[in-house]
């Protein structure tokens, strides 16, 4: 049978099974997936973005809070201190002002860095300057000269006479970073308010309203770019410009622009508007000088106007702001018309925004550019001296610090004396090259001038091409010194004042000296080939007799002479051999200067120095280079020696040049030096306030044909004639007396060291012996015609 399956009625039966699960629709499945995908995508994007943002934030803070810029060391000459009674030629004073880039005016000056000369009166407005010990304010003064001396200094604002004024020092060079950027850091409170207003009016008028990016600026830039279908305008704020200049490149891509915007927001989040504005003013590029970029308003003020930033006028500030968008295009030295047009646009913008008055606007439009005619040179005009400074600095500072810490180095260089030294050397070298055909383009020279009392190096010239950064002969030319060694021999003798004096008889006769080490015989000769018999020490010194010097050196002992050289300041190791008595040992001009420095200072060994002070870029003192002095010789012995060296110039080997160049009433002392075959010509001489050493020769070490008197002394005489040194004092030191002798034994009165009362009899005996020796040589002239020098 077949039975039908019963179907329960809905009314009577109860459903005991759970309902089947509801199946999701396809559309709902898709929405869930998208939500998960979006969260995952957001996670994937957010984590790297957050990481990238943190990385940028770290980069911004590290660079902005660390050392933002590598600052070159700035090297200054000595500041000129002016006071009533100072010996100073008005012509030299004007040269100093011009070296400082003070601008000559037809009428009395009104702005800093300007001067006007009216007869013997100079009117000038000095610049302020922060020295290591104090800050010198800007002053409006009048300096009145009486001949070659300052008579009075008057403050034209206070109507008072001043006892002392210190001018700002001449910038003589820089030690640059490797990337060749240059800047002078300026704090915001040192920036003229009108310069800040000019900047904001042109570059970012909403600077104080935005947080790093300006939607207004972006909108305007987008409209311009869409209209031109090119990336022609960026719409950057000052903050973004700072980011681009300091952190990024100048490429125009969407990625760099987004990165710039994000970094600008981060910069504004961490730092104040004041800090950002100050950094911008120090970073912005404003020109080029050779290989070196001009960055920051502080340096630009000096570069274009030769004055500190805080002393700029409104038109000058407007000109600098006009360079922000195109330093090359609006270069005022190359394109003055463009620069004026751009400056006036800045002034018009400021006026339209209510930042300046109509009167200021009109006066600014009619103002001249006032840009200095020549840009300051990026290279030093005194490379030889700057090399000396670098060598001395390296004893105390790392090279990286010199290139990046912005050190201010105050040196001893005297621009006036340096100019005189360069002129004397170049004039005389050219003259000698013209007079001697075999020397044309082959002769060279070096000169060093110092202060005898302080050891400060006043001038240093390393060669006839004074601005050439090549071989520095003043520091590195190691050449035999010839007869420049003879004062060391005579000083060794004069220290034994009981036995030797200027009137002591010496034997100027030929000799043979057997050298133990080589078994060779050394037979020196005089320059003129003659023997002069018995002569006084004074005559042997002033005529530079070789035989007398060798005979005396042999009596004294080579070791004693070598010890004298060490005490005079020679530091290199010296060998002991007979020919050293005629200067066969080789020294540099700097070493010779140190040697003669001790003689010129009266026996005090004063180390030569080219630096006075070093400060940080903010003026904080870092290092002092004080005067160090040690009494190496008795003052009486050195005084007697110096007197004998005065006779070298008056009557001896230097007399011909002295007659031509040196006034007879000047008391100066010196010594000539000539080496074998006339390869080297030397002269070292001094007055009361300046010592100068000159070397002359050829770099190929061939003969010049010049003696010390005929070559190097001509440079020395020219320099001394121009520098007008003080005469040496005739004030006798202790234990010294003047004694009058006959013309044959000497020249009138000479200084004699008296040790005890009984020494008077010794002196009398020496005088008698000297007179007798002169009687024997009566047929000879008291002074030979030629320089009696010939070294081994």
Cα separation, 783 vs 598, whole angstroms:
28
| Token pair in block for residue 75 | 């090297």
DSSP 71: B
Concerning whether 483 is annotated as a catalytic residue, the answer is: yes
How far is it, in rounded angstroms, from Cα 362 to Cα 350?
Answer: 12
DSSP state of 709: T
Residue identified by tokens 């913008």 is 349
The token pair at 425 is 């050397």
Give the Å distances, CA to CA, from 29 to 22, 26, 34, 37, 41: 13, 5, 9, 12, 18
Q: Tell me how many degrees the CA angle 781-782-785 measures, rounded to the nearest 5.
A: 65
Out of 203, 268, 289, 737, the active site residue is 203
Do 224 and 216 contact (CB within 8 A), yes or no?
Answer: no
Q: What is the DSSP letter of 456?
A: B
203 among known catalytic residues: yes
Q: Output 293-297 pairs: Cβ under 8 A, ≥24 positions apart.
A: 293/180, 293/181, 293/182, 294/182, 294/183, 294/327, 295/69, 295/181, 295/182, 295/183, 296/183, 296/184, 296/185, 296/186, 297/186, 297/191, 297/195
- Hey, which bits of 132-268 come out as E strands? 135-136, 140-146, 149-155, 160-161, 165-166, 171-175, 181-182
Bridge-based pairing of strands 140-146 and 121-125 is antiparallel
Residue 66 CB burial class (10 angstroms; 0-12, 13-18, ≥19): exposed
Phi and psi angles of residue 133, each rounded to the nearest 5 degrees, phi first? -110, -20
Rounded Cα gap, residues 730 and 649, in angstroms: 16
In degrees and rounded to multiples of 5, residue 486 shows phi and psi of -60, -40
What's the CA gap between 526 and 710, in Å, rounded?
18
Whether residue 294 contacts residue 180, with contact meaning beta carbons closer than 8 Å, is answered with no
Q: Within 13 A of 40's CA, how many CA atoms are on the CB side?
A: 6
The catalytic residue among 317, 483, 544, 584 is 483
Q: Is 188 helix (H, G, I), strand (E, B) or coil?
A: helix
Residues shown for the chain: 792
Please give the positions annotated as active site: 203, 483
């Amino acid at each position: 049978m077949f039975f039908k399956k019963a179907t329960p009625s809905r009314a009577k039966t109860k459903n005991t099974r759970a309902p089947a699960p509801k199946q999701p629709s396809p559309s709902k499945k898709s929405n869930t997936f998208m939500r998960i995908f979006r969260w995952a995508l957001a996670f994937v994007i957010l984590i790297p973005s957050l990481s990238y943002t943190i990385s940028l934030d770290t980069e911004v803070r590290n660079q902005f809070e660390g050392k933002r810029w590598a600052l070159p060391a700035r090297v200054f000459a000595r500041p000129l201190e002016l006071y009533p009674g100072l010996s100073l030629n008005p012509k030299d004073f004007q040269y100093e002002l011009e070296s400082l880039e003070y601008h000559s005016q037809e009428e009395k000056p009104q702005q800093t860095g300007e001067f006007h000369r009216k007869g013997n009166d100079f009117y000038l407005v000095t610049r302020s300057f922060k020295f290591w010990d104090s800050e010198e304010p800007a002053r409006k003064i009048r300096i009145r000269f009486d001949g070659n001396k300052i008579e009075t200094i008057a403050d034209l604002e206070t109507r008072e006479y001043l006892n002392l004024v210190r001018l700002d020092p001449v910038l003589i060079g820089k030690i640059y970073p490797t990337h060749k950027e240059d800047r002078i850091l300026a704090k915001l409170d040192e920036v003229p308010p009108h310069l800040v207003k000019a900047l904001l009016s042109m570059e970012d008028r909403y600077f104080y309203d935005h947080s790093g990016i300006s939607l207004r600026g972006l909108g305007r830039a987008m409209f311009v770019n869409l209209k031109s279908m090119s990336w022609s305008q960026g719409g950057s704020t000052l903050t973004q410009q700072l980011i681009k200049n300091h952190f990024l490149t100048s490429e125009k891509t969407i990625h760099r622009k987004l990165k710039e915007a994000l970094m600008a927001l981060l910069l504004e989040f961490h730092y104040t508007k004041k800090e950002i504005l100050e950094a911008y003013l120090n970073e912005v590029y404003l020109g080029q000088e050779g290989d070196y970029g001009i960055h920051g308003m502080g340096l630009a003020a000096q570069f274009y106007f030769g004055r500190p930033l805080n002393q700029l006028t409104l038109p000058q500030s407007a000109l600098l702001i006009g360079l922000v968008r195109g330093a090359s295009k609006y270069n005022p030295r190359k394109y003055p018309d463009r620069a004026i047009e751009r400056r006036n646009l800045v002034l018009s913008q400021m006026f339209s925004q209510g930042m300046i008055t109509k009167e200021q606007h009109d006066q600014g439009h009619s103002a001249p550019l006032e840009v200095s005619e020549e840009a300051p040179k990026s290279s030093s005009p005194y490379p030889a001296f700057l090399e000396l400074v670098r060598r001395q600095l390296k004893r105390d500072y790392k090279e990286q610090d010199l290139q990046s810490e912005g050190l201010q180095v105050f040196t001893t260089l005297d621009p006036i004396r340096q100019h005189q030294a360069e002129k004397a050397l170049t004039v005389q070298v050219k003259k000698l090259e013209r007079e001697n055909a075999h020397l044309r383009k082959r002769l060279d020279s070096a000169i060093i001038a110092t202060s005898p009392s302080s050891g400060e190096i006043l001038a240093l010239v390393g060669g006839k091409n004074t601005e050439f950064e090549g071989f520095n002969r003043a520091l590195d030319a190691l050449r035999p010194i010839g007869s420049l060694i003879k004062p060391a021999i005579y000083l060794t003798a004069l220290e034994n004042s009981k036995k030797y004096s200027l009137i002591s008889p010496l034997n100027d006769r030929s000799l043979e000296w057997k050298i133990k080490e080589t078994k060779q015989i050394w037979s020196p000769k005089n320059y003129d080939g003659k023997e002069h018999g018995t002569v006084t020490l004074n005559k042997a010194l002033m005529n530079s007799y070789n035989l007398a010097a060798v005979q005396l050196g042999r009596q004294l002992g080579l070791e004693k002479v070598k010890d004298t050289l060490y005490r005079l300041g020679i530091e290199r190791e010296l060998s002991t051999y007979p020919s050293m008595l005629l200067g066969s040992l080789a020294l540099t001009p700097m070493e010779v200067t140190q040697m003669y420095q001790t003689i010129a200072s009266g026996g005090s060994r004063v180390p030569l120095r080219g630096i006075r002070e070093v400060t940080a870029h903010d003026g904080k003192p870092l290092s002092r280079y004080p005067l160090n002095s040690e009494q190496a010789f008795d003052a009486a012995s050195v005084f007697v020696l110096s007197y004998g060296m005065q006779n070298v110039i008056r009557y001896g080997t230097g007399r011909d040049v002295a007659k031509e160049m040196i006034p007879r009433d000047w008391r100066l002392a010196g010594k000539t030096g000539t080496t074998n075959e006339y390869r080297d010509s030397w002269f070292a001489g001094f007055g009361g306030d300046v010592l100068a050493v000159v070397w002359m020769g050829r770099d190929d070490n061939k003969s010049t044909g010049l003696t010390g008197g005929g070559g190097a002394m001509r440079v020395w005489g020219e320099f001394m004639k121009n520098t007008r040194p003080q005469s040496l004092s005739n004030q006798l030191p202790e234990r010294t007396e003047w004694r009058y002798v006959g013309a044959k034994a000497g020249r009138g009165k000479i200084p004699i060291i008296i040790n005890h009362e009984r020494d008077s009899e010794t002196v009398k005996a020496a005088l008698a012996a000297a007179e007798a020796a002169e009687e024997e040589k009566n047929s000879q002239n008291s002074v030979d015609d030629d320089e009696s020098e010939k070294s081994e």
